Chains A and B, each alone.
Chain A
């Protein structure tokens, strides 16, 4: 039996950014003070999460029961290896994103910054809430809070296009969670009389197989934040948000909440044994494979950089789903590891996209000729992110691919190895051209200079001031994206802490 430590630390980790919101709203006339609260809250939140780490690594679990609304509807937190894994990822990246956000929002002189930073903080509270929730009700509660709190961020610019996209965003996320996830929760409660997560699942033997399969399908359809096809189109729509939002929320917090909840349902509501018996794991893996491949093909055709990244995210999220659906130790390890590995890689790419936008106002890949000379640091980080997405050492993406393949072998599922291989090629196909464009195509200014020289040959005229100069985004942004790129490399060389946590999860559920 696992030792349980009772502590309010998870509640503090959730609450700290909510308190910060109040302070932000109070100090909205003083931008520096307001941003100080954001930074302070993010650092404090990360420290609280880290402070819980030793206890978890000791093999203990931290629990805190906040309140019971009604029998069966408890707001209860439990910090287990998987929860702390996710919380560490999200809270650490929030610190970096906060710096980046400040740089981005100020450089663009965005409106409604108090609203932006406040809802950002609320979204992070809710993410912690999902990471630490001990039952389906608490999960659902914070899941909905994430949706509602990120809506103002997606609609931030308030242009007709943003309003339209945010409407799609809310329709998909809120709609499916009410229609499918909530019904799955009702059915689960009706079958088992509890909503508490348990190491070997709670549904085994509680309902006829047919009903279990229905519940499973409802859950899979209801957790739309994982962006599995056909419920994926909210994610490209969300790209109208400011880039820091796309970076942290739509590459890390929101979408990872989706796959995290999906993992929770698979491992702690159904349980590995039950799913193997029902045989729906393989079906899910095929679904995920479909998403991986199709999303990659769509990504190939996107010229808008953020949209290409978004479709890449859709594809990468399904890696997590595919890996866990294999229901083997290697697969589960891969899926958990991929949460953090993809987070670092994709946030770097989004940061770079935002930096390019701030420095040059360019959003399309076709406009990025020679940008590597203009923004060398940004593009170096971008390249590291790309390597991680493709899975090339020494970037961390290699680790998750490695475990994914070993998981497929354990499950004796050769088709999925082919899927992974094919998608790796596709990843290369849609990412490497960007790198090529950035470094090897000539910058517009160079072409212009050359033409100018040709035209004026013999006239002795000096060409005008159009050499390609280094013009990076504001330092806060560049530092942030370099840090996350370094993180991607660090994860490759020293993944042991996270692998240990993943192993603990595997040890518990199998």
Chain B
């Protein structure tokens, strides 16, 4: 028996199991939690990588849970698309865990840290599960695991606002999950199957049945809520702003991406492209919504004064990009979408990690507080600059690659109006990021502002550092992960062929090729 064959099960089972063990270990010594989380996420990253490698060589993997044959048993089906997403999610989770030790120490009460890591592992399990599963009911289960652990993680910080944010998210997340469950129920009602591949075969004759159409509607709305597609994004800004930095980073970088992945699965695997194009004009609806999301997200981001909230609104726009590429049913644009899952995870991950570094060092969350920070925290700010340039889409960064694919894809599909939308949004992001970069490097630090903008300082007993302009960057434990992500923003902007080769195959597969 080869252990590698069981990796698909292990990437789920191990973190699930260790979610509990972490908590128990935390009762003995709280320091264990971080070590365990780090080891497990790293292990899952290696396994995901090996899975993707196998997929690239041998094609789709179908793993039968408990050796029950699909469509009766639960199937874990890994192809180019979710192999890719698995690697992205596990890698980001590993990097964020690496980063988390100091940041969690500051932002979360010490006695809660075992619970934090336990929930963190659960969130990770849920995200991996949503990605790997080939069964729609199993998908629902993992969505719930992700959401529930997400609500708790947002609320775990010390701030009162985070409770409100978490509660809002809870309400909307529950509606989303319910919608998805209803969709699943209807599909099961007419086909008697829960397996995605099986549904794909069984559904076409029923495409015009009202039940299927209703189910499809519930899926679309539910998933749009989950991935925060405009105008269903309202839970996201508060959640990202008030969550602890680590949670904002992992959620911004991965959980909306996995939501987008789930949307892709439903739209293009459970249903076929013909359905999306001919039966229900869903691609047109999503096209319009995503265009609005891109512009609205960027405009809203401009008016923010809190860094994390600005990044959150920017995420709303970026999610628009991911959805946009899928709606053109064109291979180039679809590649752009899939590659943007990785690219946005890298850029937004970098930016949120930097925001966390700043909070750790100074307690500042306000954009105006970043003035003169280029001298105080040169490495963090360099990472921020890379992330920001990437968001603007400067060549040689990952942002340019995404835009290149989306724009050329749109032109190939004959959708000219997409081009100005993409470019205007680049301009808008240039505005809201440039304002910060300029302040970082070209404005003197204003010390009097710090007392007003400090959010954590009053609560914070661990961090007696005075605010000054002398060099005082984040500790290496936070800086190194941040710089790794920033470095990858450039690396994959240059060596773009590595992710693109996978994304192209995935796009081809989704659009009904081989």
Q: List 24 A-B contacts (CB under 8 A).
A: A69-B396, A69-B493, A69-B494, A70-B404, A70-B496, A70-B500, A141-B395, A148-B389, A148-B394, A152-B442, A155-B442, A158-B444, A163-B442, A174-B430, A174-B434, A175-B430, A178-B426, A178-B427, A178-B430, A179-B424, A179-B426, A182-B426, A183-B407, A186-B408
B250 CB to nearest A CB, Å: 29
List residues of A whose CB falls within 8 A of some B CB.
Answer: 67, 69-70, 73, 137, 140-141, 144, 148, 152, 155, 158, 163, 166-167, 170, 174-175, 178-179, 182-183, 186-187, 189-190
Task: Enumerate chain B residues within 8 angstroms of A178, measured Cβ to Cβ.
Answer: 392-393, 423, 426-427, 430
On whether the beta carbons of A73 and B430 are closer than 8 Å, the reply is: no
On whether the beta carbons of B424 and A166 are closer than 8 Å, the reply is: no
* Known A137-B395, A140-B395, A178-B430; contact A167-B438, beta-carbon cutoff 8 A: yes
Bound form: Cα–Cα A170–B407 in Å: 24
Which chain A residue lies CB-closest to B419? A183
Q: B395-428: contact bitstring with A at CB < 8 Å (1 yes, 0 no)?
A: 1100001001001100110000001100110110
* Known A70-B496, A175-B430; contact A163-B408, beta-carbon cutoff 8 A: no
On whether the beta carbons of A190 and B430 are closer than 8 Å, the reply is: no
Bound form: Cα–Cα A189–B392 in Å: 21
**Is B68 part of the binding interface, using a Cβ–Cβ cutoff of 8 Å?**
no
Task: Enumerate chain B residues within 8 angstroms of A189, measured Cβ to Cβ.
Answer: 408
Set A152, A179, A190: member contacting B441, Cβ < 8 A = A152
Bound form: Cα–Cα A183–B427 in Å: 12
Known: A73-B496, A163-B438, A189-B408. 16 other contacts (CB 8 A): A67-B494, A69-B497, A70-B496, A70-B497, A140-B395, A144-B394, A152-B441, A155-B442, A163-B443, A166-B438, A170-B434, A175-B427, A178-B393, A186-B404, A186-B411, A190-B412
Bound form: Cα–Cα A166–B423 in Å: 22
Bound form: Cα–Cα A148–B496 in Å: 23
Task: Enumerate chain A residues within 8 angstroms of B424, measured Cβ to Cβ.
Answer: 179
B435 CB to nearest A CB, Å: 9
How many B residues face the partner with a CB closer than 8 A? 30
B451 CB to nearest A CB, Å: 24
Task: Enumerate chain A residues within 8 angstroms of B419, measured Cβ to Cβ.
Answer: 183, 186-187
B294 CB to nearest A CB, Å: 15
On whether the beta carbons of B427 and A70 are closer than 8 Å, the reply is: no
Work out how many contacts link A and B, with CB atoms closer than 8 A. 68
A201 CB to nearest B CB, Å: 20
Bound form: Cα–Cα A174–B441 in Å: 18
Task: Enumerate chain A residues within 8 angstroms of B395, measured Cβ to Cβ.
Answer: 137, 140-141, 144
On whether the beta carbons of A158 and B427 are closer than 8 Å, the reply is: no
Bound form: Cα–Cα A170–B500 in Å: 31
Instruction: Find residues 367-394 in chain B having any chain A CB closer than 8 Å to their own CB.
Output: 389, 392-394
Bound form: Cα–Cα A190–B434 in Å: 30
On whether the beta carbons of B430 and A183 are closer than 8 Å, the reply is: no
Which chain A residue lies CB-closest to B426? A178
Bound form: Cα–Cα A148–B396 in Å: 14
Task: Enumerate chain A residues within 8 angstroms of B497, measured Cβ to Cβ.
Answer: 69-70
Set B401, B411, B442, B444: member contacting A166, Cβ < 8 A = B442
Task: Enumerate chain B residues within 8 angstroms of A167, measured Cβ to Cβ.
Answer: 434, 438
Q: B434-456: contact bitstring with A at CB < 8 Å (1 yes, 0 no)?
A: 10001001111000000000000
Bound form: Cα–Cα A158–B424 in Å: 29
Bound form: Cα–Cα A166–B434 in Å: 11
A390 CB to nearest B CB, Å: 39
Instruction: Find residues 27-62 in chain B having any chain A CB closer than 8 Å to their own CB.
Output: none
Q: Which 4 residue pairs of A and B lie closest in terms of their CB atoms, listed nearest first?
A: A190-B411, A141-B395, A186-B407, A155-B442
Which of A141, A167, A174, A182 is packed against the most chain B CB atoms within 10 Å? A182
Which chain B residue lies CB-closest to A174? B430
Bound form: Cα–Cα A178–B394 in Å: 9
Task: Enumerate chain A residues within 8 angstroms of B500, measured Cβ to Cβ.
Answer: 70
Bound form: Cα–Cα A155–B374 in Å: 15
Bound form: Cα–Cα A186–B454 in Å: 45
Task: Enumerate chain B residues within 8 angstroms of A141, measured Cβ to Cβ.
Answer: 395-396
Set B392, B401, B427: member contacting A69, Cβ < 8 A = B401
On whether the beta carbons of B401 and A183 are closer than 8 Å, the reply is: no
Which chain B residue lies CB-closest to A159? B442
Set B393, B404, B407: member contacting A73, Cβ < 8 A = B404
Set A137, A148, A166, A179: member contacting B427, Cβ < 8 A = A179
Task: Enumerate chain A residues within 8 angstroms of B444, measured Cβ to Cβ.
Answer: 158
A192 CB to nearest B CB, Å: 12
